[in-house]
């Protein structure tokens, strides 16, 4: 079916429609959305199929924070009818300041959780103090780079120990 979105008219398959039974905070009256690409990958767009003015930039949060740890609350697991990790897709909403996109932030506290099988979706508030609604994307990417370097150094050291024991 063709929908009018912030990006113009777009053909969206019924299989790609996400059902937000409770809407999204600030958009409780909107229930039907889709995640689309507009040539801005890895940033995608969560577009409303009911209000063509609404489109939120979203991203896979592990691209920004490699050690992101999501524990979906039990009520959300039940509501979304999640049966396994393979059923889950997680998106995080970005805020991109119009005049300074380099100051982009990511909401790690309230990810969008999607059941890939049923297409049921909701924004979930995680039960943790580790995350906030506004993390600097630049700082999180730098932090992730350091985490990966540290892991790589640890793996190299472990590999060296194994070689020495085998020699």
Separation CA 140–CA 66 (nearest Å)? 9
pLDDT surpassing 90 at residue 50: yes
* Whole-number pLDDT of residue 151: 84
* Whole-number pLDDT of residue 159: 65
Residues 6 or more apart whose CB falls under 8 angstroms from that of 52 comprise 3, 4, 5, 6
* Whole-number pLDDT of residue 161: 62
What value does the mean pLDDT of the chain take? Answer: 93
Nearest to 59 by CA among 72, 71, 68, 50: 68
The torsion angles phi and psi of 113, rounded to 5 degrees, stand at -110, 130
* Whole-number pLDDT of residue 163: 65
pLDDT surpassing 80 at residue 48: yes
- Please, which pLDDT band fits residue 153 given cuts at 50, 70 and 90? confident
The better pLDDT of the pair 84, 154 is held by 84
Number of compact structural domains in the chain: 1
pLDDT digits (tens, 9 = 90+) for 81-107: 999 999 999 999 999 999 999 999 999
Separation CA 59–CA 40 (nearest Å)? 10
* Whole-number pLDDT of residue 146: 93
Instruction: Give me the CATH number covering residue 97.
Output: 2.30.290.10
DSSP 151: H
pLDDT digits (tens, 9 = 90+) for 68-78: 999 999 999 99
Separation CA 153–CA 13 (nearest Å)? 45
Domain that holds residue 86: 2-166
pLDDT surpassing 90 at residue 46: yes
Mean pLDDT of 33-47: 95
Residues 6 or more apart whose CB falls under 8 angstroms from that of 136 comprise 103, 104, 105
How much is the pTM? 0.88
What tokens appear for 77 in the block?
């697991």
Return the half-sphere exposure (C-beta side, CA atoms, 13 A cut-off) of residue 46.
Answer: 28
Return the half-sphere exposure (C-beta side, CA atoms, 13 A cut-off) of residue 41.
Answer: 3
pLDDT surpassing 90 at residue 150: no
pLDDT surpassing 60 at residue 167: no
């Amino acid at each position: 079916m063709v929908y009018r979105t912030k990006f113009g008219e777009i053909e969206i398959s019924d299989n790609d429609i996400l059902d937000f039974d409770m809407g999204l905070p600030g958009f409780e009256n909107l229930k039907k959305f889709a995640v689309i690409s507009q040539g801005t990958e890895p940033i995608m767009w969560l577009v409303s199929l009911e209000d063509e003015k609404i489109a939120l930039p979203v991203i896979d949060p592990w691209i920004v924070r490699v050690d992101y740890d999501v524990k979906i609350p039990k009520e959300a697991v039940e509501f979304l009818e999640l049966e396994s990790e393979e059923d889950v897709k997680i998106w995080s909403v970005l805020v991109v300041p119009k005049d300074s996109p380099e100051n982009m932030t990511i909401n790690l506290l309230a990810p969008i959780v999607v059941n890939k099988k049923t297409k049921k979706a909701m924004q979930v508030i995680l039960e943790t103090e580790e995350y906030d609604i506004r993390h600097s994307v630049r700082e999180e990417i730098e932090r992730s780079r350091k985490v990966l370097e540290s892991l790589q150094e640890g793996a190299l050291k472990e590999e060296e120990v194994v070689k020495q024991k085998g020699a």
